[in-house]
Amino acid sequence: MGTGDLESYGSNKNHRGVSGGPPTGGSYYTTSTPYQTETSSDKQWTSWLVPMIVVANVAMFFIIMLVNDCPKNHNSSLQGDCVAKFLGRFSFQPLKENPLFGPSANTLEKLGALEWTKVVDDHQVWRLVSCIWLHAGVVHLLANMLSLVFIGIRLEQQFGFVRVGVLYLIAGIGGSTLSALFIKSNISVGASGALFGLLGAMLSELLTNWTIYANKAAALFTLLIIILVNLAVGMLPHVDNFAHIGGFLTGFLLGFVLLLRPQFAWQERHNLPVEARSRSKYTVYQYAFWLLSLILLVVGFTVGLVMLFKGENGNKHCSWCHYLSCVPTSRWRCDNQ
């Protein structure tokens, strides 16, 4: 997953700028990847949901640019000419306004970007979901969709479209909720919260299904490196790392709930007569993580949504948390908290 993380798009409010389908049968893991399991009975599902999500996001971006219509709605005397004017109404805002080759902040806000005042004061709760399907520019869209294909197809092949779809949507909402709690002056768009949810689910799936993996250390190391690199990128300006963190935590907990697999010893004994089976399908720690994660999810969403709709500012309860989204240096300022 590259730098295509959910962008915090905008600055302050006086100046807006960029800130289970049926199993297919006999498909098994045969390559020696870090995620290879010790059993050869893993069926793969046909992946269709993730490609559909990609198509939906691309189609939505075309609609965004159609509505944006830079040549008609942009005043070139203030911020320069539209970029790629040969595209007509699909041309991009000036790079000074949006360096990601995309629309204006006003267009994104009109079409459902996440904005604190709209959600809290105007009760537009739907923005917690709609913002997941919007992107700030071509760069943002390509990076996120490539990441989704890389992460999502593997998960859908293993666990089916129902569980992956639930993961994607709820993790996206979790990311939007945390973002709205901590970032009040910007608008946020993008699928990165949902993508980080899939990453979090991959990590918890590895931990809860530990006995079935052949290359445990390699798989864990690879995942941790990917996660840490992307969280570090989220500390750059104009990137909404709170959406990443919220999505990751939501997906991590959901992975323990939705992605359980029978332990390896049970799979080995599964074809024996019933009286010869001495192991349960799942381990005690799998059940324990399932229950604990479910409780934390319910409590977390309840507390987060109650705080949000009461108009709470998360920064007042955590004076250092803004550093999780942007770390100021001599090269850039963090003026979007």
169 within 8 A of 142, measured Cβ to Cβ:
no
Assess whether 76 carries a catalytic annotation. Answer: no
Q: CA distances (Å), 113 to each of 120, 179, 186, 218, 226, in order?
A: 14, 12, 10, 38, 27
Q: Which residues on neighbouring strands pair with residue 189, listed in sequence order?
A: 7
Residue appearing with tokens 């593997």:
154
For 9, residues 6+ apart whose C-beta sits below 8 A from its C-beta are: 18, 19, 98, 105, 108, 113, 136, 186, 187, 188, 189, 238
Cβ atoms of 246 and 325 closer than 8 Å: no
Compute φ and ψ for 45, nearest 5 degrees.
-95, 155
Q: How many CB atoms lie within 10 A of CB 210?
A: 16
The C-alpha angle with vertex 172 and arms to 170 and 173, in degrees rounded to 5, equals 65
Chain Cα centroid distance, residue 328: 24
User: Catalytic site residue 322?
Assistant: no
Among 11, 192, 293, 325, the one annotated catalytic: 192
**Catalytic, out of 135, 140, 238, 244:** 244
Q: Which two tokens stand for residue 220?
A: 């864990």
Q: How far apart are CA 4 and CA 191, in angstroms?
A: 9
- Please give the C-alpha separations between residue 215 and each of 212, 248, 255, 265, 283, in angstroms, as whole numbers: 9, 23, 19, 17, 20
Neighbouring residues of 232: CB distance < 8 A, sequence distance ≥ 6: none
List active site positions: 192, 244
